[in-house]
Structure 1
Amino acid sequence: MEDSQIVELYWQKNADAISETANKYGAYCFTIADNILHCAEDSEECVNDTWLHTWNAIPPQRPNVFRMFLAKITRNLSFNRFNARFVEKRGGSEIILVLEELEECLASGSDVEAAYEVAELEQCICRFVRTLPERDRNVFVRRYFFTEPMSAIAERYSLTLNNATVILSRTRKKLKAELMKEGYL
């Protein structure tokens, strides 16, 4: 079933929308959650919560890219679950590595939040990512949005692990420079 048809089912509040979404995007959403949580049970719960959140969000929202709409919901739910489970137990997860890698680009969270709205920062980063060459953009998004392990990213793009690491390092430096230019640092 096409995404537009699935979205229309949500608009009609037809329960088939959830089963169609689960059939088409269940594995996709599970992969996103599992990249963050590394726990099949928690990942499955996040995926089920994604269906509920999608049901509650449509309407009033009508997503343009349904797949990314689901990805964002799944990702946010997974981060929330991660924070709840690992707030005191820091380490041993890909998300910790991802956050540490991005830490060099951003001031402390309270400084950024005090000076600017989070939405403005998000828009700035999105504009920056759109300026990147396609491969670099894909590597960056896979690492920092989908929290994929470096080895998986390197394999996906036929890169050495070192090459993928260098691409991300250079991209983070460019991001840091852009954020400084925009006044976020």
Structure 2
Amino acid sequence: MEERDKQLLKMIRKQSEEGMSLLIDEYGGAIKAICSNVLRNYDAGIVQDAMQETVIRLWQKLSQRFQVKKNLRAYIYQTARNCALDYLRKYQRHSETDFEGVEDMMQDVSTDVEREFSRKHNERIVHEVIKEMEEPDRTIFILRFFYYETVKVIAETVHLKEDNVESRIRRGKKKLKAELLRRGVLNE
């Protein structure tokens, strides 16, 4: 675990307000990106609630001497994703029982179903292509485009120079585009 993460963990375990501030300063952007990505079809208030729930869960777990194995960052990202998914399930359940405007929805349902099927199909192909990438390119791509990490943070994480990370991102994007063209997801 990185030294600054060890310090952060110590402060949180002392239940220091400074620890909470540092947690938000250090990881607030990533938490927001993850929650926004998962809850992209919902308003900002729901995203904000999921972010707050993430911080609360982290504070509760980490201050109770919960053992973080190896990587605090990964644990924080996982917690953010799980909180956002909990909110997604909660609001999907509520929207399924809300019958206002059903007639309007039914008019566009076939178009929406086609569009959603196409989106999910394309998303699955993107995930497959990324899964087929070699390491560290896969990790670099995931950190950059799913967790919105900066090139500097990625370089530190995978122990490469920033220039090397940038060139791997460029090559990865070219490979991804070529593969998506080949599989019919994109048109030239």
Q: Shorter-chain-normalised TM-score: which range?
A: 0.5 to 0.7
Contact 1:139 1:164 in 2 (8 A): no
Equivalent AA in structure 2 for residue 45 of structure 1? D
Structure 1: how far apart are the matches of 2:89 and 2:38? 11
Q: Which runs of 5+ in 2 are unaligned?
A: 97-104, 106-111, 149-167, 183-188
The residue correspondences of 1:41-60 to structure 2 (distance < 5 A) are 41-58=45-62, 59-60=65-66
Aligned counterpart, 2:35: 33
Classify 1:165/1:84 alpha carbon distance in 2 versus 1 (closer, same or farther; 3 Å). farther
Classify 1:99/1:84 alpha carbon distance in 2 versus 1 (closer, same or farther; 3 Å). farther
Structure 2 counterpart SS, 1:132: coil
Contact 1:139 1:168 in 2 (8 A): no
Q: TM (normalized to structure 2)?
A: 0.54
How many equivalent residue pairs? 139
Larger relative contact order (C-alpha < 8 A, sep ≥ 6)?
A: 1
Classify 1:24/1:136 alpha carbon distance in 2 versus 1 (closer, same or farther; 3 Å). closer
Contact 2:8 2:19 in 1 (8 A): yes
Structure 2: how far apart are the matches of 1:166 and 1:82? 33
Aligned counterpart, 1:158: 170
Structure 2: how far apart are the matches of 1:86 and 1:169? 33
TM-superposed deviation, 1:76: 0.6
Q: TM (normalized to structure 1)?
A: 0.55
Higher Rg: 2
In the alignment, is residue 5 of structure 1 matched against residue 7 of structure 2?
yes
Measured on the aligned residues, the alpha-carbon RMSD in Å equals 4.4
Contact 1:10 1:55 in 2 (8 A): yes
Equivalent AA in structure 2 for residue 44 of structure 1? Q
